[in-house]
Amino acid sequence: MNLSPLQKARYEYQPKLPGMLKAGIKEISVKVGSATTSVADQDKIKALFPNTYGKEEITFVKGSNTAASKKQVVGVILSGGQAPGGHNVVCGLYDALKATDKNNVLLGFKGGPSGLLDDDYIEFTDSFIDEYRNTGGFDIIGSGRTKLETTEQFKVVTEVAKKHGLTAIVIIGGDDSNTNAAVLAEYMAANNTGVQVIGCPKTIDGDLKNEDIEASFGFDTATKTYSELIGNIERDSNSAKKYWHFIKVMGRSASHVALECALETQPNICLIGEEVAAKKMSLAQIAGQIADSVEKRGNAGKNFGVAIIPEGIVEFVPEFSVLIAEINELLAGKKTEEFNNLPNWAAKYEFIKNGLTKESFAVFDILPEAIQKQLFLERDPHGNVQVSLIESEKLFSELVKAELDKRKKAGTYKGKFAAQHHFFGYEGRCAFPSNFDADYCYSLGYNAFMLISYGYTGYLSKVSNLAKPADEWVAGGMPITKMMNIERRNGEDKPVIRKALVELDGKPFKYFEANRDKWAVETAFTYPGAIQYYGPASVCDLTTITLALEKGQM
Instruction: Return the SS3 of 356.
Output: coil
SS (H, E, C) 415-448: CCCCEEEEEECHHHHCCCCCHHHHHHHHHHHHHH
Q: What is the pLDDT at residue 41?
A: 96
Q: What is the pLDDT at residue 488?
A: 81
Cβ(439)–Cβ(84) under 8 Å? no
Parts of the chain with a pLDDT under 70? 1, 378-384, 490
Cβ(253)–Cβ(205) under 8 Å? yes
CA distances from 458 to 16, 50, 90, 168 (A): 26, 12, 19, 11
The separation between the first and the last C-alpha atoms of the chain, rounded to the nearest angstrom, is: 44
Instruction: Return the SS3 of 525.
Output: coil
CATH architecture of the domain covering 27-218+433-489: 3-Layer(aba) Sandwich (3.40)
Question: Model-level pTM?
Answer: 0.95
**Contacts of 211 by beta carbon, 8 Å cutoff, 6+ apart:** none
Closest CA to 214 of 443, 31, 531: 443
Instruction: Return the SS3 of 486.
Output: strand
Question: What is the C-alpha to C-alpha distance for residues 463 and 477, in angstroms, rounded to an integer?
Answer: 8
Other residues' Cβ atoms within 10 Å of the Cβ of residue 378: 13
458: amino acid identity, one letter: G
Q: What is the pLDDT at residue 390?
A: 85
Question: What is the C-alpha to C-alpha distance for residues 138 and 177, in angstroms, rounded to an integer?
Answer: 15
Angle formed at CA 395 by CA 392 and CA 397, multiple of 5 degrees: 110
Cβ(231)–Cβ(527) under 8 Å? yes
Query: Looking at domain 314-389, what is its CATH homologous superfamily?
Result: Phosphofructokinase; domain 3 (1.10.10.480)
Helices then strands, each counted (H, E), the chain: 23, 16
Give how far the C-alpha of residue 396 lies from the chain's centroid of Cα atoms, to the nearest Å.
24
Closest CA to 310 of 373, 364, 390: 390
> Helices 435-453 and 219-240 meet at what angle, rounded to 10?
170
Q: What is the pLDDT at residue 381?
A: 59
Q: If you ran DSSP here, which 8-state letter would residue 263 be given?
A: H
Q: Are strands 196-201 and 168-173 parallel, antiparallel or unpaired?
A: parallel
Query: Looking at domain 219-311+391-431+501-554, what is its CATH homologous superfamily?
Result: Phosphofructokinase domain (3.40.50.460)
Give how far the C-alpha of residue 421 lies from the chain's centroid of Cα atoms, to the nearest Å.
23
Domain residues of the chain, as ranges? Answer: 27-218+433-489, 219-311+391-431+501-554, 314-389
Closest CA to 25 of 55, 57, 69, 91: 69
Question: What is the C-alpha to C-alpha distance for residues 552 and 508, in angstroms, rounded to an integer?
Answer: 10
Q: What is the pLDDT at residue 195?
A: 98
Question: What is the C-alpha to C-alpha distance for residues 115 and 164, in angstroms, rounded to an integer?
Answer: 14
Could you tell me where the beta strands, DSSP code E, fall in 355-473? 419-424, 459-464
Q: What is the pLDDT at residue 435?
A: 98
- Please check whether the two domains, 219-311+391-431+501-554 and 314-389, share a CATH topology: no
Q: Choose, from 176, 205, 220, 439, the residue flagged as catalytic.
A: 205
Q: What is the pLDDT at residue 161?
A: 98
Question: What is the C-alpha to C-alpha distance for residues 254 and 260, in angstroms, rounded to an integer?
Answer: 12
* Annotated catalytic residue 205: yes
